[in-house]
Amino acid sequence: MPTKIKKPFYKRVWFWILVVIVIFLAIGANGSKTNNSTSSKVQTSKTKSKPKYAEVNKDLAKALKKDQSYANDDPTNFGYAKYIESIKYTGGSDITVNVNGAFKDVDNDVKTDVMNQTQNLAKMVLLNDKKISDDNAGEGLVVLVNNGGNSIGTSKALNHKEYSWD
pLDDT band, very low/low/confident/very high, at 10 (cuts 50, 70, 90): low
Q: Quick one: CA dihedral 6, 7, 13, 17, positive or negative?
A: positive
Output phi, psi for 45, to 5 deg.
Answer: -65, -35
pLDDT (0 to 100) of residue 5: 73
Its pTM surpasses 0.95: no
d(C-alpha 62, C-alpha 88), whole Å = 12
d(C-alpha 131, C-alpha 87), whole Å = 15
Q: Between 65 and 22, whose confidence is greater?
A: 65
Of 6-10, 116-120, 124-128, 161-165, minimum mean pLDDT range: 6-10
Closest CA to 118 of 64, 62, 56: 64
What percent of the chain has pLDDT above 70?
A: 83
Spell out the alpha helix ranges (H) of 71-133: 75-78, 108-128
d(C-alpha 16, C-alpha 37), whole Å = 32
- Burial-class residue 47 by CB neighbours within 10 Å (0-12, 13-18, 19+): exposed
CB atoms within 10 A of CB 134: 9
Contacts of 145 (CB under 8 A, 6+ apart): 96, 97, 99, 111, 115, 151, 152, 153, 154, 163
Average pLDDT, integer, range 139-158:
95
pLDDT by residue (tens digit) across 53-98? Answer: 999 999 999 999 999 999 999 999 999 999 999 999 999 999 999 9
Of 31-35, 41-45, 97-101, minimum mean pLDDT range: 41-45
pLDDT (0 to 100) of residue 7: 67
pLDDT (0 to 100) of residue 11: 67
Output phi, psi for 63, to 5 deg.
Answer: -65, -40
pLDDT band, very low/low/confident/very high, at 139 (cuts 50, 70, 90): very high
Reply yes or no on whether the pLDDT at 4 is more than 80: no
Bridge-partner residues for 143, per DSSP? Answer: 95
